[in-house]
Amino acid sequence: MLTRRNVIRVGLLGTLAGVYLPQMQGLAQTPPAPASAPTGPFTLPPLGYAYDALEPFIDSETMKIHHDKHHAAYVNNLNKALAGQAEWSAKSLEELILALDRVPESIRMAVRNNSGGHYNHSLFWKTLAKNGGKGPGSDLKKALEKTFKSFDGFKEQLSTAATGVFGSGWAWLSLTPTKELVIEKTPNQDTVLASGNLPLFGIDVWEHAYYLKYQNRRPDYIKAFFEVVNWEVVDDRYAKGLVAPSVKPMSAAV
Ligand code: MN3
């Protein structure tokens, strides 16, 4: 026979179960994120300098979020896309990018976006430096003057290209297979490597690269960007690119 006390107890338990059980079941069904995220084959390279190294041209908070969150997400999502794909997981980043057309269609777009994001950003950090902006060495300077009339002419053309990227993307100084310097744009995280060119350096014009400090003023960010170009690294890439055999996208080779 139900006493009044028992009725209250049952009623209370029922209410508690009604409130807490769905939440507890929800918690139990949520997999722990770190354990389920693949840890390889790719890893986030360290920035290589302090977050505030490029102040006041590129602010510390932007560098931290850009590297630790945005670049990290490309690496994590690339690893996720490659999970269970032994053949493709064994490839280098460059090999993956050059063979995108042969990557299984179910993961091709994820691999394209995230391998590009990882490749473009890994290069981006290396080509920036505190006290940059001193200008290219004599070999690259001569080549830029020959191709674009003057160094200022080159800066103007690259700036115009970067300003004109519609939406998110990049503007690049690249070396073609015939060793000519060209300015080009890529949408999203597409790479110039995929079309057979060697990127010497690029300007990231995704809003995440400048919005905290420059908001909608992309041209101001581009102007500031030229103050932190690591020309030593760009010079070195140019010198090595001149003697390196050209890369060929695998799809173009067959
Ligand atoms: Mn970016």
Residue 132 confidence (pLDDT)? 80
The 3-state DSSP class for residue 99 equals: coil
- Ligand 1 centre from 188 Cα, in Å? 10
Q: Is residue 70 part of a domain?
A: yes
For residues 170 and 119, state if they share a domain. Answer: no
Q: How many domains does the chain have?
A: 2
Q: How far apart are CA 179 and CA 59, in angstroms?
A: 35
Q: Is residue 114 part of a domain?
A: yes
- Ligand 1 centre from 131 Cα, in Å? 21
For residues 239 and 143, state if they share a domain. Answer: yes
Is-contact 85 107, C-beta < 8 A? yes
Q: Which of 126, 150, 171 is the last residue of a domain?
A: 126
For residues 77 and 106, state if they share a domain. Answer: yes
pTM above 0.75, yes or no: yes
Residue 36 confidence (pLDDT)? 55
> CATH number for the domain including 195?
3.55.40.20
- Ligand 1 centre from 80 Cα, in Å? 20
Domain that residue 154 falls in = 138-243
Q: How far apart are CA 126 and CA 124, in angstroms?
A: 5
For residues 119 and 154, state if they share a domain. Answer: no
- Ligand 1 centre from 10 Cα, in Å? 57
- Ligand 1 centre from 236 Cα, in Å? 23
For residues 142 and 106, state if they share a domain. Answer: no
- Ligand 1 centre from 208 Cα, in Å? 6
- Ligand 1 centre from 203 Cα, in Å? 9
> CATH number for the domain including 104?
1.10.287.990
For residues 148 and 85, state if they share a domain. Answer: no
- Ligand 1 centre from 65 Cα, in Å? 10
Residue 133 confidence (pLDDT)? 74
Q: Residue 28, exposed/middle/buried by CB under 10 A (0-12, 13-18, 19+)? A: exposed
- Ligand 1 centre from 170 Cα, in Å? 9
- Ligand 1 centre from 68 Cα, in Å? 11
- Ligand 1 centre from 44 Cα, in Å? 14
Q: Is residue 6 part of a domain?
A: no
Angle between helices 138-148 and 151-163 in degrees, nearest 10: 70
Residue 38 confidence (pLDDT)? 74
β 169-175/181-187 pair status: antiparallel
Is-contact 229 191, C-beta < 8 A? no
- Ligand 1 centre from 15 Cα, in Å? 50
- Ligand 1 centre from 204 Cα, in Å? 6
Q: Is residue 17 part of a domain?
A: no
- Ligand 1 centre from 66 Cα, in Å? 6
- Ligand 1 centre from 230 Cα, in Å? 17
Residue 5 confidence (pLDDT)? 52
Cα separation values, 199 from 28, 167, 185, 192, Å: 47, 21, 11, 6
Q: Which of 119, 46, 42 is nearest to 78 (CA)?
A: 42
Q: From first to last of its 254 residues, what are the pLDDT tens digits of the chain?
A: 445 554 444 444 444 444 444 344 434 444 444 445 678 899 999 999 999 999 999 999 999 999 999 999 999 999 999 999 999 999 999 999 999 999 999 999 999 999 999 999 999 999 999 888 789 999 999 999 999 999 999 999 999 999 999 999 999 999 999 999 999 999 999 999 999 999 999 999 999 999 999 999 999 999 999 999 999 999 999 999 999 887 777 654 43
Q: Is residue 38 part of a domain?
A: no
The 3-state DSSP class for residue 72 equals: helix
For residues 114 and 150, state if they share a domain. Answer: no
Q: Which long-range contacts (CB under 8 A, 24 or more apart) does 155-160 make?
A: 155/226, 157/183, 158/183, 158/203, 159/219, 159/222, 159/223, 159/226
